[in-house]
Amino acid sequence: MEKRNLLLLLFLVFCLHFTFAQDIIILKNGDEIKSKVTEIANDFIKYRKYENIDGPTYNLSTNEIFMIKYENGTKEMFNKIVQKDKESSQSNDFSGSKGTFVDERDGQIYNWVKIGDQIWMAQNLAYDGEGGCWDYHTIHGYKGNVNFYKELGKLYNWETACKVCPDGWHLPSEKEWFLLQKGWNKHVRKFKANYGWIFNKTGTNEFGFSALPNGYRHNKKKYHLYYDVGHDAYWWTSDRRGKSFASYYKLSWNSSSFRSYSHYKSYGLGVRCVKD
């Protein structure tokens, strides 16, 4: 009887391995390909389809790939890969009115824009902080599409937000946020991206700030952890308000102005860094 049970257990383990041992290629358009990756080059990968593992080999440009989840549990993020020739072409020159720079910690490339006398990141930060940092797809209650959440960056608690910006950048203070929108607070559509906002309340993005409605993460652990994607944009400031609270700036879909509020420091909000 024990031998029979052992054989049955081994059979089940084999079946589970056969069922789940596969590489998942996640494309930037949100599609998934169940596969066996056989080769990875600088600008393409080769794979076989999992349902026909002995069949033909396919090529796929790395420009189309967001991430590969390998059968051993590891993940490779292709939107963070920066080839050496591309990296050398990014001079991190901040003259002019806009451009790109490389975050040397993970190779991500960010847009920046000069508004008035300030230089701002024109995207939300997406660096993997050590603790107090969340991806949208890991938060209960978020049901947005996979392609959109990549553009929203990550969410950080206040303690992490204060130290997560790249070298040469910092989390803006309330004063710096105020200076950003000073004189333009009745024209916030010029700060908003021209997509992503509900009810067609999209912006014109004339300033190139590309604000997207990233919402925030609640600190409750069992339900309703994510709010306001598509409705409102939330960014931390570096200013604390008492022991448990810190200030943030908010841009709503139906508002004509930036507004400053406070949240618990444990909440997850977006980060826009400003140049030192």
How confident is the model at residue 224, as a pLDDT?
45
Q: Which of the residues in the chain have pLDDT under 50? A: 10-20, 80-90, 140, 223-224
Among candidate residues 250, 216, 252, the one with its CA nearest the CA of residue 134: 216
Domain boundaries 2-79, CATH class: mainly beta
Domain boundaries, the chain: 2-79, 84-275
Question: Residue 70 to residues 22, 26, 50: CA-CA distances in angstroms?
Answer: 7, 11, 13
Q: In whole angstroms, what is the distance from residue 135 CA to residue 142 CA?
A: 10
Q: Kindly tell me the burial class for residue 91, based on how many C-beta atoms sit within 10 Å of its own C-beta (0-12, 13-18, 19 or more).
A: exposed
How confident is the model at residue 225, as a pLDDT?
61
pTM for this one?
A: 0.66
Q: CB 261: neighbour CB atoms within 10 A?
A: 11
How confident is the model at residue 233, as a pLDDT?
93
Among candidate residues 148, 168, 190, 164, the one with its CA nearest the CA of residue 92: 168
User: Edge-to-edge, what's the strand order for the sheet holding 32-40?
Assistant: 58-61, 44-49, 32-40, 23-27, 65-69, 75-77
How confident is the model at residue 81, as a pLDDT?
39
Q: In whole angstroms, what is the distance from residue 23 CA to residue 19 CA?
A: 11
- 93-114: b or e for each residue (b if 16 or more CB lie within 10 Å)? eeeeeebebbbeeebbebebbb
How confident is the model at residue 82, as a pLDDT?
39
How confident is the model at residue 93, as a pLDDT?
72
